[in-house]
Amino acid sequence: MPKRVYFFGGGKAAGKSEMKNLLGGKGANLAEMARLGMPVPAGFTITTGVCTEFYEKGGKLPKELTKEVEKALAGVEAIMGRKFGDPADPLLVSCRSGARKSMPGMMETVLNIGLTSATIPGMVARTNNERFVWDSYRRLIQMYSDVVMEKSAGIEPAEGKGIRQQLEHLMDDLKDSKGYKNDTDLTADDLKELVASYKAKVVEVLGKEFPDEAMEQLWGGVRAVFQSWNGKRAVSYRRIEGIPGEWGTAVNVQAMVFGNMGDTSATGVAFTRNPATGDPRFYGEWLPNAQGEDVVAGTRTPNPLNEATRSSGTEHLPSLEKSMPAVYQELHAIRDRLEKHYRDMQDLEFTIEDGRLWMLQTRVGKRNGPAAVRMAVDMVEERMIKSTEAITRVTPSQLDELLHPILDPKAEKAAPVLAKGLPAGPGGASGQVVFTAADAVKWVEQGKQVILVREETNPEDVEGMRAAVAILTARGGMTSHAALVARGWGKCCIVGAGEMDVDIAGRKFSVGDVTINEGDPISLNGTKGNVYAGELGMVVGSEDNPYFYSFMKICDRLRTLGVRANADTPEDAAKARGFGAQGIGLFRTEHMFYGKGTEEALFKLRKMIHAKDEAERRAALDELFPHVKKDIKGTLKAMEGLPVTIRLLDPPLHEFVPRADDERQKLASSLGLSLDELDARADALHEVNPMMGHRGVRLGVTYPEVTEMQIRAILEAAAELTKEGKKAMPEIMIPVTCDVNELKDQKEIAKRVHAEVAQKFGVKKVAHMFGTMIEIPRAALKADEIAEATEFFSFGTNDLTQMTFGFSRDDVGGFAADYLEKGILPADPFQTLDQSGVGELVKTGIARGRKTKAKLKIGICGEHGGDPDSVTFCHKAGMNYVSCSPYRVPIASLAAAQAAVAEKKAKPAKKAKKAAKKPAKKPAKKAKKILKKPARKIVLKAAKRPVPKPKKKTAKKKGKKKRGRR
């Protein structure tokens, strides 16, 4: 029979932190804290396995659970010295969810279970605080009727008509009638009156009495928590986060401790380091005389935990450090122990009951990208973790957050701050204001960029928060549920902007006399907590983050796969170099004819493509030559000392035909043609299927002089730089190859031009390499022959994907969504390399190419070079480098480092496995005789061998070289 209930408390626990799958994160960590002797209220965890049983039985709990729960409850009673349901001195419990992976605010909680008409007098006698007991009771009714009697019963009330809201209205009415401002103004008698009206309302709305029996309340709570695993919010969140439905949640039943028993009681949420910035100082929020939900619900702006980490909005509020110094010191000591124990930032929940500290939760804290990077770097420096672990602490998308835009500081300086709030999610964003989650989703579907503005953050808003570029709320703290969720997603977010008066129904908000209506643009600086009217410009903000560069150094030291950039201008090349690119893997020559400042070169190119014969073409090429050489030289110079792969002209020539009348006219007169004659020449270039037409190497085969001019430009640029004392490393790359003979043809031209350039510059050799792209399936299959004529391959997986699937890369948008929605393909193959199809061709190409030339240099320059999963594939496939756009370079570097570390980790295990197999298969007679030891012992030894440490010297050497490069 499976064990269904795990007890914790009194310095002991049946579970431990490694048992998250069974006990959920919360339960496993409560058990661990109990084992560590920390002050944890006793309790027990009902396993995730029971959740599975619950659903298998159509919403019924297994019979066997009753006994186990009763036994565990008796254990809690023994430790806490009180009995559940005892009229004289009742034990109260909480009932909380806890999945394997934290799903903040997405499931249900019921507190104060066990308060009934029978136990209330005993509670009043014990606490000597009638008001507190009645306040706890009204909270129980509010939560229980909502979670257990309404949600868990599958009742779906109309917007604003839920039982919780209806009860809240009763409370507001009572406060109004008495002229009270705050909930705390309600007296014990007021609360008694309120409870009576609550109970009547529950019967009126839900048609059932609120249960007055402790055990019935407990089982109702347990069932409701299991039920909430399949609640709307939880299902949405799981879909977004990719959490499988089969995991289920555990239920934690735990003795209640009260933070709302008066001024010596409090409750709070803390992080061992700041989850929004990574600042290593203890950080958190607390509220005196409050229950946990008050802090996270965002209904009261919480106080800062300590003096050092106050933010600009909380100067006037008391810190726990000053208000309760002894408790703060105890909490700080626990913070230190927990962080050391878990070797990671922890997210803590605590309650202080009448001056006594209780720990209610610890878990690895969610953090945004900048914080993740800073923590990883700091923890290596503090020797808490090794660099091999540090790189697993940052996901590629978190790193991406650092490369995300921030508001343009200049524009920001000039703009008046409209409102100030708490900086819950850094970075900047501009967008149109919407006021409901549903509108956010709808507007984004219409292609708009929106900022979701709410009175307070609310877990029900999850879909809208996801769709919006940023979130802004008038109320709530840094640890409100939705702020946590936003941070987890790396979204720009400001909460608690108190000056804002939000009118959801009127679709507007105002600050003073400024009113912002639905659809108006606003801008947020989530790092400072500033709100601006209007749309401010954005810039990328990673450059001045020193932790980012330190982190990249760690990645560079650990990865074995090279990372280059796809760049076509000296500016992009310099940017890529700054991010750590080790060269350029793709310089698309045609890009020098696109965009601003390229008009003259484009005009000359157009003359060339409209030429009627070789003589005219050569004349145009002569004019074009200095432009091409200048551009190539600029990039070679920016990448001095690093390789630059320059791809010869690739697109079908028809792409460059002018469309505008004035341009056509200008070209016609320059060529001495009439417009009709020009059009006739342009029409001759037209192709039915240009992507498979006259492009790439085929152009060079038909017009050798075009290849000749480009190669001459490359080699002369390199020779000139060498003369200037600069190391140029050009790699000439031929595109769209399908046969070795195409390459032989082009190589002849290269050889001839090289000899001419060498002679012109009076040198023996102009250093360069000659290689090809592999972007046609036939090229991958014929790679053994192709390798004979080349020194390197670069997989052009954009075209290779197009040609392998037969999906036009320019038209796939029309049907890709259907393929993904129907699960026909797991991902867009133009974003993530299709490893089982296209990947097989890549592997084949590598194997066949290297069979001919073992040292063949191999890379990838399709978009996949910046996709983390595809980078892992390239590492495993044995490529020398990946090449991607400059802003993806850090992400590719991280993915490459993670792949290298994962491989190293797996290797000793493989060795051990091999060792384990060997003696068992063939008992080595000789060894047996000599050692006279049973094979098993040898096996054990091999299996226990520690992971070999990286050779320090090499690592250092590599690190040094890379540091110099930045």
Residues 6+ apart with CB under 8 A from 941: none
8 and 14 Cβ atoms separated by less than 8 Å: yes
Which of 829, 739, 745 lies closest to 781 in space, CA to CA? 739
Q: How far is the CB of 831 from ligand PEP (least distance, A)?
A: 13
Q: Produce one character per residue of 714-724: b if its CB has 16 or more CB atoms within 10 Å, e if not.
A: bbbbbbbbbee
Quick one: what does residue 171 bind among Mg ion, ligand PEP, none, with the CB cut-off 5 to 8 Å set by partner type? none
- How many residues of this chain interact with ligand PEP, rule: CB under 6 A? 10
Residues 788-827 that bind ligand PEP (CB under 6 A): 796-799
688: tokens are 């039915």
Shortest distance, position 651 Cβ to ligand PEP, whole Å:
8
| Residue 305 interacts with, from Mg ion, ligand PEP, none (CB under 5-8 Å by kind) | none
- Helix H, strand E, coil C: the string for 81-118 is CCEECCCCCEECEEEEEEECCCCCCCCCEEEEECCCCC
Whether residue 861 lies in the annotated active site: yes
Which residues does residue 364 pair with via DSSP β-bridges, in sequence order? 346
Residue among 485, 486, 471, 490 at smallest CA distance from 398: 490
**Contact between 865 and Mg ion per CB under 5 A:** no
Q: With binding defined as CB under 6 A, does residue 650 bind ligand PEP?
A: yes
**Residues from 98 through 117 that contact ligand PEP (CB under 6 A):** none
Q: How far is the CB of 732 from ligand PEP (least distance, A)?
A: 15
Contact status: 796 vs Mg ion (CB under 5 A): yes
Total site size for Mg ion, rule CB under 5 A: 3
461 binds ligand PEP (CB under 6 A): no
d(CA 763, CA 814) in angstroms, rounded, equals 54
Q: Name the residue type at position 710.
A: Q
| Contact call for residues 483 and 300 (beta carbons, < 8 A) | no
Q: Of 731 and 799, which CB lies nearer to Mg ion in the complex structure? A: 799
Q: How far apart are CA 719 and CA 771, in angstroms?
A: 19
Nearer to Mg ion, 796 or 890 (CB): 796
The minimum distance between CB 518 and ligand PEP, in angstroms, equals 41
Q: How far apart are CA 565 and CA 552, in angstroms?
A: 15
Q: Tell me, yes or no, if 694 is annotated catalytic.
A: no
Choose the stretch contacting Mg ion; rule: CB under 5 A; options: 156-164, 248-256, 563-571, 771-779.
Answer: 771-779
Among residues 464, 652, 862, 919, the one that binds ligand PEP under rule CB under 6 A: 862
Q: Smaller CB distance to ligand PEP: residue 284 or 796?
A: 796
Q: Please choose which of ligand PEP, Mg ion, none residue 866 contacts, taking the beta carbon within 5 to 8 angstroms, the exact cut-off set by kind.
A: none
- State which residue, 163 or 879, has the beta carbon closest to ligand PEP: 879
Sole window of 177-185, 740-748, 798-806, 847-855 interacting with Mg ion (rule: CB under 5 A): 798-806
Binding of ligand PEP by 27 (CB under 6 A): no
CB of 868 to ligand PEP, least distance (A): 18
When binding is defined by CB under 6 A, the residue of 861, 877, 891, 900 that contacts ligand PEP is 861
What DSSP character marks residue 314?
G
Taking the C-alpha atoms of residue 474 and residue 298, their distance in angstroms, rounded to an integer, is 10
* Cα separations in angstroms, 240 against 233, 397, 634: 11, 14, 45
Backbone angles phi, psi at 845, to 5 degrees: -60, -45
Query: Binders of ligand PEP among 878-917, rule CB under 6 A?
Result: none
| Closest listed residue to residue 923, CA positions, set 938, 908, 910, 909 | 938
Smallest gap from residue 220 Cβ to ligand PEP (A): 59
Which residue is closest to Mg ion by CB?
799
Q: Which entry of 51, 493, 861, 884 is annotated as an active-site residue? A: 861
- Run of H or E residues at 678: helix 675-685
Which candidate in 95, 404, 481, 874 is catalytic?
481
Per the DSSP assignment, residues forming a β-bridge with 472 are 453, 494
Report the residue number, 104 or 862, with the smaller CB distance to ligand PEP.
862
**Site stretch for Mg ion (CB under 5 A), options 337-345, 718-726, 774-782, 853-861:** 774-782
Residue 692 C-beta: closest distance to ligand PEP, Å: 12
Beta-sheet strand order (sheet of 266-271): 303-304, 283-288, 266-271, 346-353, 356-364
> Could you give the CA distance from residue 360 to residue 379 in angstroms, rounded to a whole number?
25
Nearer CB in complex with ligand PEP: 631/650 = 650
Instruction: Return the range that interacts with Mg ion (CB under 5 A); candidates 73-81, 93-101, 611-619, 775-783.
Output: 775-783
Nearer to ligand PEP, 262 or 796 (CB): 796
**Cβ contact 454:461 at 8 Å:** yes
| Residue 586, contacted partner among ligand PEP, Mg ion, none, CB below 5-8 A by kind | ligand PEP
Rounded (10°) angle between helices 214-228 and 48-56: 90
Residue 945 identity: R
Specify the residue, 135 or 775, whose C-beta has the smaller distance to Mg ion.
775
Q: Which is nearer to Mg ion, 132 or 830 (CB)?
A: 830
> 């000139």: which residue's tokens?
720
**Cα(254)–Cα(84) distance, rounded to whole angstroms?**
11
- Does 863 engage in binding with Mg ion (CB under 5 A)? no
Q: Is residue 775 involved in binding ligand PEP (CB under 6 A)?
A: yes
Least CB distance to ligand PEP at residue 867 (A): 12
Nearer to ligand PEP among residue 246 and residue 810 (C-beta): 810
323, 288 Cβ separation under 8 angstroms:
yes
String marking each residue 575-594 x if it binds ligand PEP according to CB under 6 A = -----------x-x------
Among 53, 353, 742, 799, binds Mg ion (CB under 5 A): 799
CB 274 within 8 A of CB 423: no
For residues 835 and 468, give the distance between their C-alpha atoms in angstroms, rounded to a whole number: 32
Residue type for 413, please? K
Interface with ligand PEP, residue 731, by CB under 6 A = no
Closest contact distance (angstroms) between CB of 802 and Mg ion is 8
Label the pairing between strands 428-434 and 450-454: parallel
Residue 650 Cβ, how far from ligand PEP at the closest point, in Å? 6
**Which sequence positions are flagged as catalytic?**
481, 861
- Binding residues for ligand PEP, rule: CB under 6 A, are 586, 588, 650, 775, 796-799, 861-862
- Binding residues for Mg ion, rule: CB under 5 A, are 775, 796, 799
